[in-house]
Structure 1
């Protein structure tokens, strides 16, 4: 399981990479790198993805610098982290707390 404190330490040690995919998504969604950092530094892990390849990852619930709720998906690679994507959660996919996924309807 990923520990949020490890991800925060990676930021403090400047061992976080934002993937090209994530950079493009951030640009499209109007999210800045400082928003992602703020989310990781002040947020909490709400989902763990231990079987992600090539490294385990997690979903972090936190806030952008302006206080807007933000989700960040990040990996823990043992000596650093990679930001996979970030987005403002959609109330159609998450409950009102923006932490709990809604049940998918078939």
Structure 2
């Protein structure tokens, strides 16, 4: 997925949150403006072109000094086939899964 296409959808308001992403952002006390700001200043750090649920990616953005990960994919309109950006999940990367915001952590026993 292309970060410029993602940012364009955010600017147009052509995006939606999954129920899971909505729950996760509320648990991390992130409001929609903060999410939009993180995406607009963000970058794709992982692409998942062959995900069985459809093409998606992991974006790293920041809310102030706090790193935020956003998994995003495309949702297609049932009647017209138009693409809408779907925010699948939102979370703050933490050990042990993440060594830092860009590197996955080692396996735990």
TM-score bracket, shorter-length normalisation: 0.7 to 0.9
Aligned match of 1:95: 99
Does residue 49 of the first structure (1) align with residue 48 of the second (2)? Answer: yes
Gapped regions of structure 2 (runs ≥ 5): 76-81
CA RMSD of superposed structures (Å): 1.6
Does residue 7 of the first structure (1) align with residue 6 of the second (2)? Answer: yes
Say whether the 8 Å CA contact 2:96–2:106 is kept in structure 1: no
Aligned match of 2:68: 70
When normalised by structure 1's length, the TM-score is: 0.85
Does residue 79 of the first structure (1) align with residue 77 of the second (2)? Answer: no
* Larger strand fraction of residues: 2
Gapped regions of structure 1 (runs ≥ 5): none
Residues 16-40 of structure 1: per-residue CA shift (max 9 Å, x gap):
0011121111111212112221121
**Alpha-carbon distance in structure 1 between the residues aligned to 2:105 and 2:27:** 25
Structure ID, larger Rg = 2
Residues 34-81 of structure 1: per-residue CA shift (max 9 Å, x gap):
2221121111111111122432111111101x3311111111346220
- Which stretches of structure 1, 4 residues or longer, exceed 6 Å deviation after superposition? none
Does residue 16 of the first structure (1) align with residue 15 of the second (2)? Answer: yes
> Any idea what SS the aligned residue of 1:80 has?
strand
When normalised by structure 2's length, the TM-score is: 0.83
**35-44 or 73-82: bigger deviation:** 73-82
Aligned residues: 103
